[in-house]
Each structure stands twice: as C-alpha cells, then as structure tokens.
Structure 1
Amino acid sequence: MLFLDFNLNPSIIKAIEDQKYEKPTPIQEKAIPSILSGKDLLGCAQTGTGKTAAFAMPILHMLSKDSINQRECNQIRALVLAPTRELAIQIGESFETYGQHLNIQIGVIYGGVTPKRHIKVLKREPNILVATPGRLLDLSEQVYVDLSSIEIFVLDEADRMLDLGMIKDVKTIISKLPKVRQNMLFSATMPKEISKLIHSILRNPVKIEVKSNLTDERDIKQQVYFIDEPDKTSLLLHLLKDKSFESVLVFVRTKIKADKVSKAINIANIRTKAIHGDKNQSERLKALELFKNKEIRVLVATDVAARGIDIEKLSHVVNMDIPNIPETYIHRIGRTGRAGMGGTAVSFCSSQETAFLKDIEELQGGSIEVMEI
C-alpha cells in the first residue's frame, strides 16, 4: 500500500512526498482509513511506530475538506493532548510538516513558559491545538481558550499521563468538550485506569494493536552490563571512546545525577548537555536542537524526555539506571531504531536492579544479551 491509496488531499500527499515517504507504517495503514471514516479509534502501539502521522494526516485531510464547504475556520476544531512539552512540540511539528501546503493554523501550548506567549498563540485562532493538560486547563479556566467547537479529540500517550498524575486534569478537560465528537486514544500499555478512561470517552472504537518485537521488527540490539553502581560513570566514559557511539541518549533516574553525569562527560572532552524537569523550557529546547543537529554527541536525560525526543539516526540509548517500570524501558529504547533504522540499547545493571531487569525480560519475552566488561 502507498499513501496515494488513502485518497488524501493532494496538498498533504505533496508534503508526504517532500519527506520522501511512500509506504505507510502498519499503524498508519490500519488507522488512517478508520479515522477518515469518522470512527472512534483505540490505538495500542509502542513509540516510534509512526502513530503521530497516523492521526495527523487524516485530521488535516478532514479539516481541509470541510473548509471547502465554507465552514467556520476561526475556531479550534481538533484538540490533541500530550503528556510532555517535548512531545507536544513534536506533534505540532508533525502537523506543520504534513499541513505545510494547507491553509490550516496549528497552535501548541504547554507549561514551563509564560502564559502570555500562549495567549498570543490562541489569539491567532488555530484550527488544531496541541496542548499539555495542565496549561490547557489553566487557560480554559481563565477563558482564554474556547473548546466548544471541538470536533476531533486525540489523547496521546495516555499511560504516560497516568504515570505523571495528569488523569484528573484530562477528565476535567474532556468534560468541557462537546458531547458529539470523534475520539482517538493512543497508549503503549493499557493499565486498568486507562481501560476505564477508554470506556468513558470512546464509542464503539476500532481497535488497532501494533505489536512490536523491538529486537527483530525494529532492529534494536539490546545489551546489558552487570556493574556496581559507583562504577557506572567510568563504564559510560569507556564506551564513549568507541566512535560507533555517534549519537547517544543517556537515561538516568534523577535530575542531580543527570547534571553530575553530564559534567563528567564534558570533562572527558565530549560535548554533552543535560535535560530534566529543573531546566527551563528554553534550555531544554536548546539542548534538543543541539542534539538534533549533531552539535553535541551525548544528551543526558531523565524520563521527562523519554517520549518527547524524535531524533533521526540515534545510534545508542544508554540506561545508566534500570527503570523500575518495564514499560518505561520500552519507551526509552524506542528512541533508537526508528523508521526502520537500526540502533543499540545498552543498560547498566547493579545488584539492586536485577529484579527490574527480570521484569523487563519477562515483558519482552526474552533475555537481553549480557556483555563482559
């Protein structure tokens, strides 16, 4: 199947061709026709499978088609909720990319910057709004944003919102939306609380599950080193001597450790930045930009960035700390091996983390290759 087979707006097809894409990913192939038919959709897919484009393309098509019929254009007609600033920005960029030849306005709002900036965004009357729940709720309660004309609602990374304690805000926002609308919910995992949310907002949804064997389908090589906690930084510096570690995303558990590890890498004359919740938005965006442009070789991050970084040709993900939630591991290593490209995920496991590693292997249904130090 080709993108041409979806009969999308020619302007969207042109934007897709500009990106050199021809064939849709499995989730795009399954989701786009269902969304175009107006059905609610439940998508279960890991990060990096192309799900943002799976909903962005048909939404842009439907809004562009309706505008031909002289419908009201200066209203927010599609709302996408995302758990983090980075992911909201990434989704906004996808809409801009595929809608670059359309007269459709995109707005993105998130926490961490002055509300005045986002009030300006809303005054430009976007047709599609991408937002994090907290900031959207704040602006809605201050009557800066009107949700009464929403026709399409997308809840992305629902399980991550649950992890971050955002579900209450999400439910409040949903209560403000029109009762009649098309709904889409995407989640990598389906915990009980998310299942309850699904039943409350989706009506007879089309269910799409894209199972991903990370080591095979996405060509991610997974390795683990068993090492004492105090020796992890030394091992990382040793591995970074290997020039095959071209572009490396390092995950740590705490903000303090992120800064400490970043400093140690810089001292070793390897350009790096740290990104975590204590960094202001401009610092985080600058670090991401430097990393995307290959101006720095290593980015050290806490899980705040696990689902919001989309870097082409990311060669390695390093888990200096094994996450205690196995799904978090999946999201982390999903930063590499994207769009059919290969990558390597390296984990450092201390004696206190062996139980976490076992949970990860059980989730994946296979053991991870053990490396000798």
Structure 2
Amino acid sequence: MNERVLTPRNRGFLFLDSHPAGCRQVVTDMWRACPAPAAVPQDPGPVALVIGSSAGYGLAATLAGLKRAGIRGIAVSFEKAPTERRTATAGWYRTAATADLARSAGRDLVFLNGDAFSDAMKDQVADLIEQRFGGRLDYLVYSVAAPRRTDPDTGTTYASVLRPIGRPNRTKTLVFDDRGAPEVREVETGPAGGDDVEQTVAVMGGADWERWIDHLAGRGLLAEGFATAALSYIGSPLTAAIYRQGTIGAAKAHLEATARTLDQRLGKTVGGRAVTSVNGAAVTQSSTAIPGIALYTGLLRGVLGEGLVPPVHQLAGLWDQLTGAAPSVQDEEGRIRLDTWELADDVQAAVAERWEAATTGTIAGLADLDWFRAEVRRLYGFSVPGVDYTAPVATDVPWPAPGS
C-alpha cells in the first residue's frame, strides 16, 4: 500500500490532492446526519440509478436514497484513480466509502466509473439493470456538472462557460490569499459571445438526461410508475446575473423544459413522471468556481448559522417525495422546491444588507469564514474532525468491486 502523510496543497479553491481518510469520514458524517426514515425500507428495495453520484448533491442523493428509501441499483461518476505521484480525486475515495456503507446496509449498489455522456456507459448500465436488477428501473436521479460533453451522435464536443448574457457583469467575490486571509474583490466577467449559450446548454441542459431516458425506455427497462428527477439551482437575485440569467441559467431553463416534455411522455407510457428538484445553496466543487457564489454562501451561513440546510437533508426530502412517503409539492413550473429556506424574503434581505456592507475590512464580521474555509477543505478530505492528519494514510484505495 502506498502510504504517506498528506498535507493540503491548493491553488485558490482547487486542491491538488485528496485525503482518503478525510473523504471517508465526510461520507460517514453525511450518513449519520441523514434523517432515518419513519419506517424501515422494504427489502430488497427499489432499483435506482444515480448519475453523478460522487460529489455534492449527487453524493447526497446516493446516501439519502440508501438510508431513506433503501435503494439498490447503480451509481455512476467520473473520477481519477490514484497514481504513484498523486492521490485519487476526492470523489474516488468518497465512492469507496459509500460502497462500504451500502454493503453494511445490505443494499446491492454497483458503482461505475466513466463518462456518463457516452452511449457505452448507457449500454453498460442498461445491461446491469437487465441482468442484475430484474430488468426494471424505478428511479433515476440526474446530477451532472461537467465542463464539456461529446455528443455521441455527431462526435462534436461542446464546452460550457460561466458568462452573463447581454452585458458584462461586475460583482463582488471572496478570495483567500496564500496565508488564508480573506479578501473581497470586484471582478468583471465579459458577456457570452458567439455560440457560448448554445454550447453551455448542450453540456448542462437536458439533452443527456433525455438521452438516458430514451436509451433505457428503448430497452424496455422503465418500471410502471418510474420517476426521475434532475437536480437544479435558482439562487439569489444577488448572483442572478452570472448564474440564473447567464449561460448556466439558460442551461437550467432547458433542463426544466426537458422535465416538462419527459413528464408528459412518461405519464403516457409508464404512468411515470419527471421533475426538476431546485436545491438550496451549498459549498461544492462546482459552486466555488462561480464568481460571487463563495461570498454569497459565506454571507448566507453568517445569516442562518446552523439553519443552513445541508444537502443530505434536502435530498432526504426529495426521496420522500419521489417514493410517496411525503406528498409531492411543486411550484407553478412543476419544480420540486427544496430551497425555500434560502429564498425566504427575510433571509434574502439580511444577506443583501451584508453583501452591500462587505469589504475586505468588514467581511470577518459578516460571513462565517471559518465555516466556509473548512467546507472547502472538506471537499478534499481535509479539516475533517476526528481525522489524524499527522498519520500516514494509504492512497491506492481500489474502486469498489461489484460484489456477488
């Protein structure tokens, strides 16, 4: 086993290595934090497919599905293996830990590592459902955030961008210097040009989600009453110009339009349904790349404290609505809203007041910086309570075997 002492090395919010023991503890902590169901899930449990299962809300969906709904089935992600020089990605280690939890819970969950956009992965998943899980899929949760996608039909590779539409956007953002000191800066992002919007929609919109449904339906694998949800975000007016009204927002709008199309189709063919689930803010590897989001999330935590709802709690609520354990509550656009705690008028007013007052000199009293810094480090397995970072740790953790 390749054992060594790991210390965090980072460039801004991007860390070069991940800590296996820390990532394992993060998963364990999420599992413990997930509310237990009112009744013990049935055995053997519904068959589910989670696409994008190793990080952020996709990881929360996997863990909450296991604990809250007793799912079995398949989890798909795209992670890098360890090498002699570098650790694996954090999602690799989180997946190994999730597999152990699934096994201890007596749930048959197979973890696949590869390109979810490819037809080869869709074929592999369909074969597994057919051969291992009785040929019927009950649920599909789609949670994919990627910088690029290759269209299997044309071979064209599309790249997503984070840009406002129509005009430049100038916003405050939060950064930390090499010593960890916070700084509030103003940054300007130029507007989308050329085919930026179309490219971003092609990557982050609903095309691949719909292709998954078409592929599985074409193989006759959707169970009667099949339900699917794609995870989304709306966010605050403070970040709307770069997010909801920007290129990513155009992709989210396409995702929601796809949900309405799929919902009609599934209702007619298998008595099923399709929804988007709008989640609340969280510190994720994707969100830290968006200008302004780090500042906003730190301020939101400063306002709400422990009232900020963690992803695994939100996704427990989604599974309750998908399985019928709780009534399905949707807005006028047909979206399940798990973000109402964040977008409450009083919360947004308090965050907006702090946003206006935020400078490098005042930020420490307005945002929960200790929490935010620790959350970023925990994405890579560092700053996790209960982990001895002075001890050597094995980095060549194997990908979970599918079992018997």
TM surpasses 0.5: no
Task: State TM-score, norm by structure 1.
Answer: 0.27
Q: TM-score, normalised by structure 2?
A: 0.25
Higher relative contact order (CA 8 A, sep 6+): 2
